[in-house]
Amino acid sequence: MNMTKLIAALFLILLASHAAANPAAWYQWRSKLNGDLVCRQTSPGPGWEKTTGPYHDSHCEHLARYQ
């Protein structure tokens, strides 16, 4: 019975640590080929460079104050 409570407590601690994590930030990326801009959380590929960010939203309108 004691082992079951220990496992349950460890599981709840693990869940709590994931619940406190922030969502991934959004960044504006510029194409090196034609200058197009996109808003993504990760790089669209090798032909893109990060220009601004981080943002809170997927439209890159609201700058974030973290990171």
Could you identify the residue written with the tokens 């590929």?
45
Q: How far apart are CA 56 and CA 39, in angstroms?
A: 11
Residue 28 lies in a domain: yes
37 is in which domain, residue-wise?
Answer: 23-67
Compute the average pLDDT of residues 53-66.
90
Q: Which pLDDT band holds residue 2 (cuts at 50, 70, 90)?
A: confident
Residue 16 lies in a domain: no
On the question of pLDDT at 18 being above 80, the answer is: no
Residue 64 lies in a domain: yes
Residue 38 lies in a domain: yes
Residue 1 lies in a domain: no
On the question of pLDDT at 26 being above 60, the answer is: yes
| Burial of residue 19 (number of CB atoms within 10 Å: 0-12, 13-18, 19+) | exposed
Q: Which pLDDT band holds residue 9 (cuts at 50, 70, 90)?
A: confident
- Give the count of alpha carbons within 13 A of 27, CB side only: 14
The answer to pTM > 0.75 is no
Q: How far apart are CA 4 and CA 24, in angstroms?
A: 34
Least Cα distance to 36 among 53, 51, 57 occurs for: 51
Residue 9 lies in a domain: no
